[in-house]
């Protein structure tokens, strides 16, 4: 049984997409909860032993964000079968890891989120991703190789998740652990999940103003802390460019 728990500390943010709705057009902030993907979290239990993956990440100099950042919820999608290819590639891993300075940035983002609404927290879906796991995702993504890099970095090159400087996350209610409704599930491969297509998707009725508002809040707090989003995934944020990451860190194999 997976265990999900809160830690008490701070941290998140991203850049504005090209085709989004202005804050003025959206009106007063009202956050919509995604009931379809909501699940129960037991915050009373803590991991008693380290898995082989935990030891591997700690040996690589990464930090467990659940021990660094307060009230963050972790639900590793690739440590379950609730992902786009239906496989658990991490087995008993329950913790999310990042480079130490990226974790510090996340603390700042969380502080910004608390200033906006102290009833909210982050729900983390993925942090560092070893190249071996990247290969599994690449092989199982049912898209042409020419399109795959929009969603999964080519493991031959290495992506920012592989360096421990990218994070996949959303915003959730602290009291229930339920994520705000962002209009699509995590790892939805279509225009409805594209920040760059929000204006178009809104006009076509594929997403709502509440969905855009919730995404804008996530982008705002992440960008305030120095993170940058990408055009095809509302949940993905990078702390550095690929060039910066390669200069500062090694790929986690």
Q: Per-residue confidence of the chain (253 residues) as pLDDT tens digits?
A: 444 444 433 343 334 444 544 444 444 444 566 655 544 444 434 445 789 999 999 999 999 999 998 799 999 999 999 998 999 999 999 999 999 999 999 999 999 999 999 999 999 999 999 999 999 999 988 888 888 888 888 888 899 999 999 999 999 999 999 999 999 999 999 999 999 999 999 999 999 999 999 999 999 999 999 999 999 999 999 999 999 999 999 999 9
Residue 228 to residues 66, 124, 174, 181: CA-CA distances in angstroms?
A: 22, 16, 24, 21
- Cα–Cα distance measured from residue 145 to residue 135, given in angstroms and rounded to the nearest whole number: 13
What local confidence, expressed as pLDDT, does residue 147 receive?
A: 86
Q: Is 233 a catalytic residue?
A: yes
3-state class (DSSP) for residue 17: coil
Question: How much is the pTM?
Answer: 0.80
DSSP 207-238: S-HHHHHHHHHHHHHHHHTT-EEETTEEEEEE
Class of the 23-248 domain?
alpha beta
Q: How many angstroms separate the CA atoms of 164 and 242, rounded?
A: 11
Active-site pick, 24, 175, 233, 247:
233
Token pair listed for 230: 């990408």
Domain parsing of the chain, residue ranges: 23-248
């Amino acid at each position: 049984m997976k265990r999900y728990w809160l830690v008490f500390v701070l941290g998140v943010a991203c850049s504005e997409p090209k085709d989004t709705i202005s804050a003025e057009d959206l009106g007063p902030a009202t956050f919509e909860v995604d009931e379809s993907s909501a699940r129960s979290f037991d915050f009373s239990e803590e991991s008693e032993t380290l898995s082989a993956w935990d030891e591997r990440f700690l040996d690589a100099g990464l930090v467990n964000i659940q021990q660094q950042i307060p009230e963050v919820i972790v639900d590793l999608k690739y440590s379950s079968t609730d992902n786009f290819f239906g496989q658990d590639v991490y087995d008993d891993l329950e913790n999310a890891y990042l480079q130490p300075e990226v974790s510090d940035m996340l603390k700042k983002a969380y502080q910004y989120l608390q200033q906006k609404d102290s009833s909210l927290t982050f729900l983390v879906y993925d942090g560092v991703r070893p190249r071996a796991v990247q290969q599994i995702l690449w092989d199982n993504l049912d898209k042409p190789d020419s399109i795959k890099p929009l969603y999964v970095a080519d493991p031959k090159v290495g992506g920012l998740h592989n360096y421990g400087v990218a994070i996949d996350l959303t915003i959730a209610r602290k009291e229930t652990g339920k994520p705000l409704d962002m209009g699509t599930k995590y790892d939805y491969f279509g225009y409805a999940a594209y920040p760059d297509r929000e204006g178009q998707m809104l006009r076509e009725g594929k997403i709502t103003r509440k969905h855009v508002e919730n995404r804008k809040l996530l982008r705002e707090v992440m960008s305030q802390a120095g993170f940058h989003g990408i055009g095809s995934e509302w949940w993905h944020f990078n702390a550095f460019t690929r060039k910066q990451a390669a200069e500062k860190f090694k790929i986690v194999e």
